[in-house]
Amino acid sequence: MRNLIIVISLVFIAIVAVSYFYFSNLDHKQAARRTASPAEAATVDSPLPEPSTGNGALWAFALNGGSTSRPSVHRYNDSTRFILVQDAYHILHAISPDGQKLWNAQLPGPIVDSVSQLPDQSLVFTTAERLYRIDTEGDPLPGFSLRLPQRATQGAAILPQPAEDAVRIQVGTGRQELMYDGRGRLLRRQTLGRNARTGDGVEADSTFTSLPHGCGPLAYVGPLQYDGQRYLICGKSDGKLYCFPY
């Protein structure tokens, strides 16, 4: 009986010893796996890569079907400017100088000619069917938008103001020139020659014949802020609007 107890005790001690070495080795292997895991090392120790356009652009802004108008730059407030461009689905996009979305607006068709800006920073433009006057947040001003009695063939022009607080907007059609005030009232119809446009915001260079980065004629070259630095903004075949230092 005594010998049986001794044998059982020795077997129990052996089992305990084997178990200790097995689980100790298992913990060591698991710790080694955790240290060597590439996925964990990347998550903890390596920052995620910064997004890049890969073509020298400062930023790229995705448009629906690409741009169909020349980008234009306008005063956003007294300290900054912003970009307007229309895409293939007639959506007008407002974009900050660093490529961020400010707002967008669905229009019934393409903008005729370009967008003009009044001294109060409101924006005036027309599609073939409608005349618009909006603020820099994309909200319409009282009296706008309004349906034109004839289809526009020339964009909305801001005429010299007869008084400091007066607004005169002229829209050319195939037969007449329509004169509106700042509240959207039709003042008169005339068949005289079209006056020169004023107040178009920040003028782009119009003398370039070829541009780098594969940019076509629907491009803007000029300042984005008040520091005098010039930029090239253009749409590409991938449906994005790009901004390059120039």
What's the number of domains the chain is made of?
A: 2
Q: If you average pLDDT over residues 155-159, what whole number do you get? A: 88
Please check whether residues 34 and 152 belong to one and the same domain: no
Within-domain flag for 95:
yes
pLDDT score at 24: 42
Assign residue 228 a region: left if phi > 0, alpha if psi is -120 to 50, beta otherwise?
A: left
Please check whether residues 37 and 153 belong to one and the same domain: no
CATH of the domain at 195: 2.40.128.630
Within-domain flag for 53:
no
Q: Is the pLDDT of residue 109 over 90?
A: yes
- Measured distance CA(167)–CA(206) in Å, rounded: 27
Model confidence pLDDT, tens digit, residues 69-95: 899 999 999 899 999 999 999 999 999
pTM of the model: 0.72
Model confidence pLDDT, tens digit, residues 7-58: 555 555 555 454 444 434 434 333 333 333 223 223 233 333 334 455 889 9
Please check whether residues 93 and 142 belong to one and the same domain: yes
Please check whether residues 10 and 105 belong to one and the same domain: no
Angle at 182 between CA 173 and CA 124, to 5 degrees: 60
Please report, as a single letter, which amino acid is at residue 151: R
Q: Which domain holds residue 19?
A: 2-45
Please check whether residues 149 and 95 belong to one and the same domain: yes
